[in-house]
Amino acid sequence: MILAMLNEAWVAIWANRLRTILTMLGMVIGVGAVILMLAVGQGAQQQVQASIASMGSNLFIILSGSTTSGGLRMGSGATPTLTVSDAQALEELPTLAAVAPSSPGVAQLVYGPNNWSTSVYGTTPSYLQVRDWGVASGSAFTDTDVRSATRVALLGQTVAHNLFGDEDPVNKTIRIKNSPYVVLGVLSAKGQSLDGRDQDDTVLVPVTTAQRKLFGTQFVGSVRFIMAQAISAEAMPKAEKGIAELLRQRHRIREGANDDFTVRNLTAMANTAAETAQVMSLMLGAIASISLLVGGIGIMNIMLVSVTERTREIGIRMAIGARGKDILLQFLLEAIIISVIGCLIGVLFGVGGALLASKITEMSVVITASSIFMAFAVAATVGIFFGWYPARKASQLRPIDALRYQ
């Protein structure tokens, strides 16, 4: 029965090919747009989320402050006001889970015939905790290494690859600014940061080693910045206040005077970025859905025309024994066939378009089964919803009126 009705519906669709294709186009564009937009939106969202995850969670970055010398205002970090002992003092705050001072610089690395210039961070083992960074092979340096300023290094993936190729770097000796350093381990891959930098193009050494042996410092123990991790997202406002109070006290800043440091809440910035991406993704989806709605209205329009045009046919069918529900089913099936085929083509266009977009613009796109399934479900629903009214109208015609219709 349903097979026969499907065939009847198909015959009617086939008889009006051009009209059907044009009607379908509405669905194709709607579904294609929804899938493409969801893919682009989710791609952007995923990229942001990956960057956030690679940064570490509940993060503060404390930069040494600006200074004014002879009327010239220097930028943030110009004055070395933060020290390793500031970092040690911050560790005592109950709202902070880990604190890592950091003394960055750029140096040339040499291993055998290879050499590579990269940023070298002098820091403490806490840095790995703060950044939520694991060691892929070998081991991290310890507090003992920091205390005795040993010449050891942890290599980022990019650095390891550029210096060693396929060779295992662990326990090999490299030269940084011509001094020998033992590679204790290789960090796990982190990928791009939010601003697009390669986070794996880096080397970690003990902060004391960096200060005393590699770069030297203007003042003993001074660091460029300190990274701190709060114990939880809820503790972040309290932690921010705690950091500021403690540092003002340690730096003997009078009431009313400006801070000589800046505390930045990285996670808040990241969350904003994530929310923006999500809102954008939703917006794209919503705009695309409108075209799906328009497609649905197109189906309803054409089905209404079809019912009017075929009133006589409906009358004939009723005269030879079609019940109202048979007529309803036939017209509903037509609407559903149009929308489902339109949807299938739309899925192809959407997926194809998304892949093409990612290829051309190197934008990351995410095509999930759920977004395809959703587009499909919506299309079928649109077909049923917008096909229902014309089909019902057809099924409720009185046989004699339908038969007499000219």
Least distance between other proteins and beta carbon 292 (Å):
30
CA–CA gap between residue 36 and residue 288 (Å, rounded):
9
Other Cβ atoms less than 10 A from the Cβ of 106: the count is: 9
Nearer to other proteins (CB atom), residue 214 or residue 338: 338
Nearer to other proteins (CB atom), residue 88 or residue 396: 396
CA–CA gap between residue 237 and residue 2 (Å, rounded):
64
Nearer to other proteins (CB atom), residue 6 or residue 280: 6
Least distance between other proteins and beta carbon 311 (Å):
13
Contact flags string 293-312 toward other proteins, x per CB under 8 A: -------------------x
Give CA angle at 308 (307, 309), nearest 5°: 90
Nearer to other proteins (CB atom), residue 349 or residue 405: 405
360 binds other proteins (CB under 8 A): no
Six-digit token pair at 95?
Answer: 């709202």
Least distance between other proteins and beta carbon 13 (Å):
11
Least distance between other proteins and beta carbon 334 (Å):
13
DSSP for 21-90, written as a single string? HHHHHHHHHHHHHHHHHHHHHHHHHHHHHHHHHHH-SSEEEEEE---EETTEEP-TT-S--EEHHHHHHH
Residue from 258, 321, 360, 362 that binds other proteins (CB under 8 A)? 321
Q: Are 59 and 267 in contact (CB under 8 A)?
A: yes
8 binds other proteins (CB under 8 A): yes
323 binds other proteins (CB under 8 A): yes
* The one segment of 9-17, 129-137, 201-209, 380-388 that binds other proteins by CB under 8 A: 9-17
Nearer to other proteins (CB atom), residue 315 or residue 342: 315
Least distance between other proteins and beta carbon 283 (Å):
45
15 binds other proteins (CB under 8 A): yes
Q: Are 237 and 265 in contact (CB under 8 A)?
A: no
CA–CA gap between residue 226 and residue 39 (Å, rounded):
38
Least distance between other proteins and beta carbon 8 (Å):
7
Least distance between other proteins and beta carbon 309 (Å):
12
3-state secondary structure of 219: coil
Number of residues near other proteins (by CB under 8 A): 26
Nearer to other proteins (CB atom), residue 260 or residue 326: 326
18 binds other proteins (CB under 8 A): no
11 binds other proteins (CB under 8 A): yes
Place of tokens 């801070």: 259
CA–CA gap between residue 396 and residue 384 (Å, rounded):
17
Q: Are 179 and 126 in contact (CB under 8 A)?
A: no
DSSP for 122-190, written as a single string? EE-THHHHHTT--EEEE----HHHHHHT--EEEE-HHHHHHHHTTS--TT-EEEETTEEEEEEEEEPP-
CA–CA gap between residue 138 and residue 263 (Å, rounded):
34
145 binds other proteins (CB under 8 A): no
399 binds other proteins (CB under 8 A): yes
Least distance between other proteins and beta carbon 307 (Å):
15
Nearer to other proteins (CB atom), residue 12 or residue 48: 12
b/e string for 380-392 if b means 16 or more Cβ within 10 A? eebbeebbbebbe
Least distance between other proteins and beta carbon 1 (Å):
5
400 binds other proteins (CB under 8 A): yes
Least distance between other proteins and beta carbon 397 (Å):
11
Nearer to other proteins (CB atom), residue 1 or residue 18: 1
The gap between the terminal CA atoms of the chain, to the nearest Å, is 30
What residues line the site for other proteins (CB under 8 A)? 1, 3-5, 8, 11-12, 15, 312-313, 315-326, 398-400, 403
